Structure 1
Amino acid sequence: MKKHKNEAKLLKKALELGFAFAQKQGYGDLDKSVSAKDKVECIYRLLVEFKQITPLPEDKEDGPNMKHKLVLWITRLLPADHELLN
């Protein structure tokens, strides 16, 4: 799994856009008591459900792989000249 230079910032951006997508689909906002791990899993599963990303094999569904999938998703959405991709 290749790490991106700004992976933490890309993950944060992916979660922001993922939550915006969830709200547009009619899902409520997650409150602040929800852990970061659970937020990643929630957005990952939502994007899989709406066929925005391909699901991981069940034996590979863990935190680091879900985070990596979200980072890959956001890198495809951002313009090539975006500051986080350089």
Structure 2
Amino acid sequence: MKKIKHENELFKKALEIGEKYALNRGYKGFSGTVSAKQKVESLYRLLVNDKLIQPLAVADEDQPHMKHKLALWIAKQLPADHPLLK
């Protein structure tokens, strides 16, 4: 897994956008007691289910790989001139 530039910031942006996407899809939202790990896994599985991202190999389904996959997803959604892509 190759680290991408601004990966942490892209991941945070992916969580923000992913939560809005989940709400639009009818998900009731994340309560304050939901851990970050649960959010990551839920958003990853939702995006895979909706065929917006390619699923990871079963052996690679762990938090670091899911976070990386979410960061890659949002990087492809942002406009080319976005500050996080420079």
* TM-score between both structures, scaled by the size of structure 1: 0.95
Deviations 1:39-78 (A, max 9, x none): 1101000000000001001111000000000011001000
**Equivalents in 2 of 1:54, 1:5: separation in Å?**
21
**Equivalents in 2 of 1:68, 1:48: separation in Å?**
14
* TM-score between both structures, scaled by the size of structure 2: 0.95
- Which residue is equivalent to 2:69? 69
Deviations 1:1-41 (A, max 9, x none): 12122111110100111111111111111011111111110
Helix, strand or coil: the match of 1:55?
A: coil
Task: Please report the RMSD computed on the Cα atoms of aligned residues, expressed in angstroms.
Answer: 0.8
The runs of at least 4 consecutive aligned structure 1 residues that moved more than 6 Å come to none
Residues matched between the structures, number: 86
The one-letter amino acid of 2:14's match is A
**Equivalents in 1 of 2:48, 2:5: separation in Å?**
25
Structure 1 stretch displaced more, 4-13 or 49-58: 4-13
1:15 aligns with 2:15: yes
**Equivalents in 1 of 2:58, 2:5: separation in Å?**
27
